[in-house]
Amino acid sequence: MRSVDYSIYLVTGRDLLPPGKDFLTSLEESIQGGVTLVQLREKELDTQTFIDLAIRSKAICDKYNVPFLINDRIDVALIAKTDGVHIGQTDMSVEQARSLLPAGSIIGLSCTSVEHIREAVRLNVDYVGIGPVWGTQTKKLSNPIIGVRGVGAMLAELDGTNIKAVAISGIKSTNLLRTLHGSMSQTNHALDGIAVVSEIVASADPRSAAQKLKSIFSEFKRAYTPHPLGFPQALTGTDTNGPGKSIAPSADSIMDGVVCLMNEIRKANPLVHQITNAVVTTQSANVTLAIGASPIMATEPQEMEDLARISGALLINIGSMRAETVDGIGLAGTFANSFRKPVVFDPVGVGASTFRKSSVRTLLDTFQSSVIKGNAGELAALAGTTEVESKGVDSVGPGFKDPANFVRNLAKRERCIVVLSGPVDYVSDGVSVVALANGHELLGHITGSGCILGSCIASYCATASQVAQADPNIENGGIFRGDMFTAAIAGVLVLTVAAELAVKSGDVKGLIDALWSLSPEQVREMSRLTVSKAIHQQELRVYCGAE
C-alpha cells in the first residue's frame, strides 16, 4: 500500500461553498494548494448522485496522486473504487468494512475518547480522527469539545503503534499552531495531520487557504522535530548535541545567565503587559518599574492585538477574573503567541471554584504559556492531583512529598517552564529542576507577594526574549523566543533575595527600595541555588552568551 501523507486532510462540505464557486473546481484548487488527502462527506445526497460525484472527485484526486476516501458509505466507495473509507463510531464496524473493501484499503475511525483510541489500536485501523478539538460551524457537535490538551492523552495511547492521527473539528490557520503544539501534552507523539472543512471549502481562494495551512504545518514539523529528551527542543531555549554528547546545566552557568539578564533588563526596559489581580495592580506596577521594566496594566479586549505587538511579554493572573473577561484574556494570550511573545500564566486560586477550573482549562487550550507559576495548591489543582489541597488562594499542609519530580512532570506535560513557589521555590523545564532556597517567611504575609513574583518573572522573560531577538546567532524557533528557564529563575531570585535584604535592613516595607538597589553581584553572592540531577543529560544554552 502506498505511503499516505495525512498532513492537510480535506473533508468536503459543499453547503459551505461561496456563491458561484463550483465544487470540483474548488477541490482541484485546494489540492494544488497543498491538500494531501480528501474525504468526500455527503449526508444528504441520494445514492446515485453521490456515486457520480465520488467518481468525478476521484478523477481529480488521481490526477494529483492524492488519496481519496468516502465517509461511511462502503457501497459508494466500492463502486467509485476509492482508496478507502472513514468510519464514525455509529457507522458500520471496522471489521465489516474491512471484510467488504479490497485489501490495502485505507480505513480511518473517528475517536472522541481514550477508550475509542484503545479500540482503534485493537482493530489496527490506518488512522484515527481525534476530536472535536474546537467548536465548528459545519455540524452540530454530539460530543463535548476535548480541547487541544485533551488530544494529548489520546495520542499517548498510539505510542509504539503505526496508527496515524489527525485532529478534527474547527481547525483554522489561526488556531493550527496551537492545535499542533498543545496536542503534544502528555506525549512526544505529534499529530500526523489536521482535518479541515470550512477553512478551505468556504474560501473563495481555496488554493491560498490550503497553502497557508500547509506552510504552518510544515514549519511546525521543521521547528519541532522531537529529540531524545522527549519533547521538541525549540520549546525551552535548550539544545542538545546528540546522545552522549550533552551536559547538564550547572549552578554557575545558570547564575551567569541570571546576572546577564539583570544587567540587560535596565538597558532593554521591556514593556510588560499585565492582566493581573485588581488587589495588587499598583504593587505589581511598582515592582516592575523597580527591577527595570515598564508596566502597562490593560484589560480591554480591543487593545489586545496592539499591545501584543509592542509588549515584550504578557502576564496573565486570574485573581480577579470574571466571566466577561475570559474571552479577552484568551485573545491576549493568542495574540502574544502570534507575535511570539512570552506568556506567564498565574492560575491564582484555580482550585477554589468550578468556574476557575473550567476557565483555566479553556485558557490553556486557547494559548500556549511560556511559564506557569503557582503555589502548591494551585499547581496541584492544575495537575489534577489531591496531594496538596488549597483554601482560597493559599495551599494547605506541608506540600508535595517530591516537589522536584512534580514540577518536572508538570512542565513536561504542559510543555513550558513551571515555577512552584513556596518556602523553597522549584523551577523546571521538564528535564532539569532548580531549587531556590532564598526568601523570608514575612514575604508570605505581604498581600499579593505571589502576584508580584509573576511580574518579576514576566519582566525577565521579556528581557530574555529581546536578547534572543537581538542576537543573530540564536535560533528563534517555537511559540516564544529566548531562555525562559533562566528568566524564570532570575525572577524568583531577584524577588526573594531582595526580601532577605529588606528584612535584614529592618524595614520590611522597603521591598521596592531593595529591588531598585539590588545588584547582580548581591544576587550571585546570596543565591542558594541547587540543580537537581536531570533524568536525561542536556545542554542548557544561556541566551546571554554564557554556555
Q: Please give the share of the chain, as a percent, with pLDDT higher than 90.
A: 68
Does the pLDDT of residue 230 top 80, yes or no?
no
Per-residue pLDDT, averaged over 433-447, amounts to: 82
Least confident stretch, 6-20, 54-68, 118-132, 405-419: 405-419
Continuous segment of H or E residues that includes residue 118: helix 114-123
Least confident stretch, 136-145, 147-156, 233-242, 432-441: 233-242
Per-residue pLDDT, 142: 64
pLDDT-derived band at 228 (thresholds 50, 70, 90) equals: very low
Does the pLDDT of residue 536 top 50, yes or no?
no
Per-residue pLDDT, 149: 86
- Contact indicator for 168, 127 with CB cutoff of 8 Å: no
Does the pLDDT of residue 243 top 50, yes or no?
no
| Range 284-288, long-range pairs (CB < 8 A, 24+ positions) | 284/448, 284/451, 284/452, 284/454, 284/455, 285/455, 286/512, 287/452, 287/455, 287/456, 287/495, 287/512, 287/515, 288/455, 288/456, 288/459
Report the distance separating Cα 509 and Cα 505, nearest Å: 10
Per-residue pLDDT, averaged over 35-47, amounts to: 93
pLDDT-derived band at 248 (thresholds 50, 70, 90) equals: low
Report the distance separating Cα 144 and Cα 147, nearest Å: 9
Mean pLDDT of the chain, nearest integer: 87
Does the pLDDT of residue 24 top 80, yes or no?
yes
Burial of 79 (0-12, 13-18, 19+ CB in 10 A): middle
With a CB cutoff of 8 Å and minimum separation 6, the contacts of 244 are none
DSSP codes, 217-275: HHHHHHHT-B-TTSSBTTTTTEE--STTS--PPPHHHHHHHHHHHHHHHHHH--EEEEE
DSSP codes, 357-391: HHHHHHHHHHS--SEEEEEHHHHHHHHT--SSEEE
Q: DSSP letter for 16, please.
A: G
Q: How many residues does the chain have?
A: 547
Bridge partner list, 466: none
Phi, psi of 222 (to 5 degrees): -70, -45
Per-residue pLDDT, averaged over 476-502, amounts to: 83
Does the pLDDT of residue 547 top 50, yes or no?
no
Per-residue pLDDT, 471: 61
- Count CA atoms within 13 Å of residue 477 on its CB side: 18
Alpha helices by DSSP H, listed for 346-476, are 354-366, 376-383, 403-414, 449-470
Report the distance separating Cα 60 and Cα 461, nearest Å: 50
Per-residue pLDDT, averaged over 85-92, amounts to: 95
Does the pLDDT of residue 229 top 60, yes or no?
no
Per-residue pLDDT, 482: 72
Per-residue pLDDT, averaged over 77-99, amounts to: 96
Is 416 known to be catalytic?
Answer: no
Per-residue pLDDT, averaged over 209-215, amounts to: 97
| 256-285 confidence digits (pLDDT tens) | 999 999 999 999 999 999 999 888 899 999
Percent of the chain as helix, strand, coil, to the nearest 5: 45, 15, 40
- Contact indicator for 106, 83 with CB cutoff of 8 Å: yes
Report the range out of 175-184, 281-290, 442-451 with the highest average pLDDT.
281-290
Report the distance separating Cα 86 and Cα 230, nearest Å: 31
pLDDT-derived band at 240 (thresholds 50, 70, 90) equals: very low
Does the pLDDT of residue 400 top 90, yes or no?
no
Per-residue pLDDT, averaged over 321-345, amounts to: 93
Least confident stretch, 247-261, 281-295, 393-407: 393-407
Report the distance separating Cα 430 and Cα 417, nearest Å: 7
Is the pLDDT higher at 436 or at 506?
A: 436
Per-residue pLDDT, 163: 97
Tell me which of 111, 451, 461, 544 is the catalytic residue. Answer: 451
Q: Is the peptide bond before 132 cis (omega within 30 degrees of 0)?
A: yes
- Contact indicator for 486, 257 with CB cutoff of 8 Å: yes
Torsion of CA 477, 479, 483, 486, to 10 degrees: -160
| 116 CB neighbour count, 10 Å cutoff | 18
Q: Measuring CA to CA, which residue among 95, 99, 101 is closest to residue 109?
A: 95
Per-residue pLDDT, 428: 94
